[in-house]
Structure formats: C-alpha cells, structure tokens
Amino acid sequence: MAEKLVLAGPASEELGRSLAEKLGIPLLDAEFKVFPDGESRFTTSDKVAGKSVFVVQSTHPPVDQHIFQLLLAAHQLSEQGAKVTAVVPYLAYARQDKEFLPGEGVTLGFVAHLMRHAGVRRLVTVDIHSAEGLALFSFPVYSVSAIPSLVEYAKEKLDLKDPVVISPDFGGSKRTEAFAQLYGAKFLRLNKTRDKTTGEVSVWDANLDVEGKEVVIVDDIISTGGTVKAASEAVLKQGAKKSLAICVHGLFVGDALQKLEKASVSSIVCTNTVPGKFSKVDVSEALASHLRTLEE
Ligand code: R5P
C-alpha cells in the first residue's frame, strides 16, 4: 500500500491539518511563497516518489492565485513521482460550466484541462455548483455533500420553529430540497433571473406561503450576496417572520455583508470550505470519510 501524505495548501491550512489528523496521515513538509510581484513558489524537501499525496487547497479569492498554487504543487509532486489527488473544498469556476453567452469560454473545462496536465489524477470537491460540471473532467472527480452537516448544525444550533426551506433558484433546488427533506421541513422554490451582462438578480414570486414563518434560504454559494438579498426581500415582503441564510461556500465578495444586513437576513451559516467568520460548519469529516474510500 502506497504511503499517504497531506499537503495543507495556503488557502486551506486549517482544513488540511484537520484532514491529516482525521485520516491519521502525516503532513508534507512544504513551503508556499508569494513574491512581492505576485509570483508564487512551491518548495518541498520531502521525498514523495511512489507516495500518494492529497493536496488540500480551496480556490476562493484570490481565485487565480489559489488555483495556480494548486497547479504548481500538483505539478512538482507528480514530476517527483507522487500520485496526486487534489482536494479542493470550494471549486472556483464551477459556475462557468457552459457557454451562457455566445463566444463565452467554458472556463471550468479549461481548469479541468490545466489540472490534468499539472498531474492531478483525481479531484475531490464539496458541493460542486452543478453536476453537469463533473462531465468536463477527463479524470475521476467526486463531489461530497455538505448538506447533512449543515442540517445537523441547523437542528442543533438554530432553534427554528417549523421553518420553510427555500431555494432561491431552479439550479440549486435539488440541493435545497435535500436539505428540507433531511430537516423535515416544507420546501419552496423561488424563480430567479440574473442579467447575464450586469449580474443583477431579481426574484419574482407573488404567492409564497410564508406568512409568519421562519424562512431558511439554502444555496451553494454566497458571492456578491445579490441572490440571498433578493430572496430575503421577497419572503419578508410576503409576511415571513424572519429570514436566515445557509450556504456551503461563503465568499462574501465586496459589499455582500452590507447587502444581507440591509435585506434583514438575521443569521448566516456557511461551511469551512472557505475560511471566514460565518464558516461554522466543518466539512473535514465528510471529506475524510470520502478520502478513506478511495483506492490507491
Ligand atoms: C447561482 O446559480 C448560485 O447557485 C448562487 O445562487 C450564486 O452564485 C450566488 O451569487 P451571488 O451571491 O453573487 O448572487
């Protein structure tokens, strides 16, 4: 059996360490450096030939830097003879999984191509934006669900009374419906449109049955906050008692938090696929359980 190692990348140091501990395998001794001009360097003196290395590196902002660090480490380790599994808790570019506007690149396909050429043999991520994205990879890729862990947290910590669980759009509705089913709550789906050029989000739904209810908005990503803001405003306008946001990947770009505050979102819960103030739910056990099942 090949010896295993975990490389905790700079974007996921804590999660990487926690995974190593849970799996009972040592951390690779390595250093990432970013030079003043923005160039990255990866150094390791460990001998990795014939070993299996889990490179744990999320790709939240600065997205391209984090992706490049992942590629750099994967390339060097694989050149030295390691079998590299990329563990990317938040997979950036997953929303660019098709040509939405004429002439637009399918960037997730390009990321998949770069990973393969860097020497990544397998990819494990958490709640990829859409299952369609999986087809763009020409090597094995697995998406682990954080939904059971989020439901467990909501049940234990949020003290909700007969909540209604809402998906802000059609795309994420399967994931949100799974949350509602596991929680044992009513599920509703909103209709959202996003202007593909400006990114402006609007939600239109006239008769939602949310009067006096606590509404939990469940989504995969909070980026600019526009989606959750629109959903929260819609349900509060229709008589909901309060709105809460639960998501897997909390990016909170720009003034996202101010937007959510303005839209009276009373509580925000995310996972630690992206480290931050709202990353209250740990996905390391869900990831570790999956990594244990992988063959050599
Ligand atoms: C879109 O389809 C996703 O599931 C999220 O709803 C979206 O990425 C959230 O982005 P933002 O916070 O910028 O509205």
Report the CATH number that the domain containing residue 199 is assigned in CATH: 3.40.50.2020
Residue 164 lies in a domain: yes
pLDDT for position 206: 61
Residue 133 shares a structural domain with residue 212: no
Q: In the structure, what pLDDT confidence band is assigned to residue 172 with cuts at 50, 70 and 90?
A: confident
Greater pLDDT, 249 or 1:
249
Three-state SS for 64? helix
Residue 296 lies in a domain: no
My answer on whether omega of the bond before 140 falls inside 30° of 0, hence cis, is no
Q: Is 12 exposed, middle or buried (0-12, 13-18, 19+ CB in 10 A)?
A: buried
Residue 99 shares a structural domain with residue 214: no
Residue 265 shares a structural domain with residue 177: yes
Identify the residue whose C-alpha is closest to ligand 1 atom 10: 223
Q: In the structure, what pLDDT confidence band is assigned to residue 124 with cuts at 50, 70 and 90?
A: very high
Task: Tell me if 62 sits within 8 A of 251, measured CB to CB.
Answer: no
**% of the chain exceeding 90 in pLDDT:** 91
Q: 27: CA distance to ligand 1 center in Å?
A: 34
Residue 15 shares a structural domain with residue 99: yes
Residue 78 shares a structural domain with residue 127: yes
> How do 186-189 and 164-167 pair as beta strands?
parallel
Three-state SS for 88? strand
Domain span at 170: 147-272
**% of the chain exceeding 70 in pLDDT:** 99
Distance CA 185, CA 167 (A): 13
- For the chain, the domain total comes to 2
Q: Which residues line ligand 1 (CB under 6 A)?
A: 95, 168-169, 171-172, 201, 219-227
Q: Give 181-240 pLDDT, tens digit per residue.
A: 999 999 999 987 888 788 777 776 667 889 999 999 999 999 999 999 999 999 999 999
pLDDT for position 205: 67
Which of 143, 222, 248 maximizes ligand 1 atoms within 8 Å of its Cβ, making it the mutation to test the pocket?
222
Q: Give 223-262 pLDDT, tens digit per residue.
A: 999 999 999 999 999 999 999 999 999 999 999 999 999 9
pLDDT for position 196: 77
Residue 251 CA, closest ligand 1 atom number: 12
Mean residue pLDDT of the chain comes to 95
Task: Tell me if 96 sits within 8 A of 107, measured CB to CB.
Answer: yes
Residue 119 shares a structural domain with residue 24: yes
Residue 114 shares a structural domain with residue 193: no
Least confident of 29-38, 78-87, 287-296: 287-296
Residue 119 shares a structural domain with residue 175: no
Residue 230 shares a structural domain with residue 155: yes
My answer on whether omega of the bond before 62 falls inside 30° of 0, hence cis, is yes
Q: At residue 173, does pLDDT exceed 80?
A: yes
Residue 277 lies in a domain: no
Q: Give 269-288 pLDDT, tens digit per residue.
A: 999 999 999 999 999 999 99
Residue 38 lies in a domain: yes
Extract the tokens encoding 115: 């990973």
Least confident of 120-134, 139-153, 191-205: 191-205
Structure pTM? 0.95
